[in-house]
Amino acid sequence: MSEQERKISLNFETIGSIAAMVIGATALFVAWDQAQVMRKQQHASVWPLLSDDFTIDKNEDGYVVELTLANKGVGPALIESAYVTIDGEPASSRPAFMQGVFKNQQPAGSARVNGSSIEGSALGAGDAVSVFKVTWPDTEDNRQSFSALANRYVDGEGPQVSLAVCFCSVFERCFLSEDQYRPRGVKACPEQTDMFTNLLRDQSGADQ
């Protein structure tokens, strides 16, 4: 084999080696990209989305205020911590909640309180739970209290009652939802607040 033929052979071998390396690197990138796409699809297929709703109502039991939480996503929400806010400020006890909602025109009489301690629980896709519900008897004084509250909402001055909730997906991706804003990702959720226990308190947060 002449020197020229040897050089041509070496060149072809070099080109072949480089081509094989390029093909291998391309295949590796494609595999990595497909894995990323599949990972995103997996996360999207179980993404929870929590939405809260505060209502005032009159039914056969009396006058009612209720705060509910619904999972409108496609996967379960693992609720790590939560607390109630009124106009952006935490309501640390039932008296604080009452003052924030009704101001100086609070309902009177024996109230029936129901709710769920949602911290540390799971809320399935499409499920909803009553977080805090208070019912007062149907009296004239309570009618006036609820009429005054309804008028404040009509005038655009009603309290903005909402839940701040930190929750995670089954893939341990965590989100913080607060003040009706789109949930934002967080590295970890804060500690539990014993929210429902605090809302059942008959005294202000000063004794906590």
pLDDT at 103: 93
Q: What is the mean pLDDT of the chain?
A: 82
More confident residue, 171 or 6: 171
Would you kindly state where each structural domain of the chain is located, as residue ranges? 1-45, 50-207
Average pLDDT over residues 33-55: 66
pLDDT at 205: 39
Inter-residue contact 46 to 74 (CB < 8 Å): yes
More confident residue, 109 or 82: 82
DSSP assigned state of 73: S
User: Considering the entire predicted model, what is its pTM?
Assistant: 0.75
* Single-letter amino acid code for the residue at 8: I
pLDDT at 12: 52
pLDDT at 35: 47
Is 99 in a helix, a strand, or coil?
Answer: helix
More confident residue, 108 or 179: 108
Q: What confidence tens digit (pLDDT) does each residue in 102-146 have?
A: 999 999 988 899 988 899 999 999 999 999 999 999 999 999 999
pLDDT at 32: 44
pLDDT above 60 (res 91) = yes
Average pLDDT over residues 88-108: 92
pLDDT at 199: 84
The full DSSP string for 104-155 is T----SPPEEEE---TT-EE-TT-EEEEEEEEE---HHHHHHHHHHHHHHHT
pLDDT at 208: 37
**C-alpha span between 155 and 183 (Å, rounded):** 29
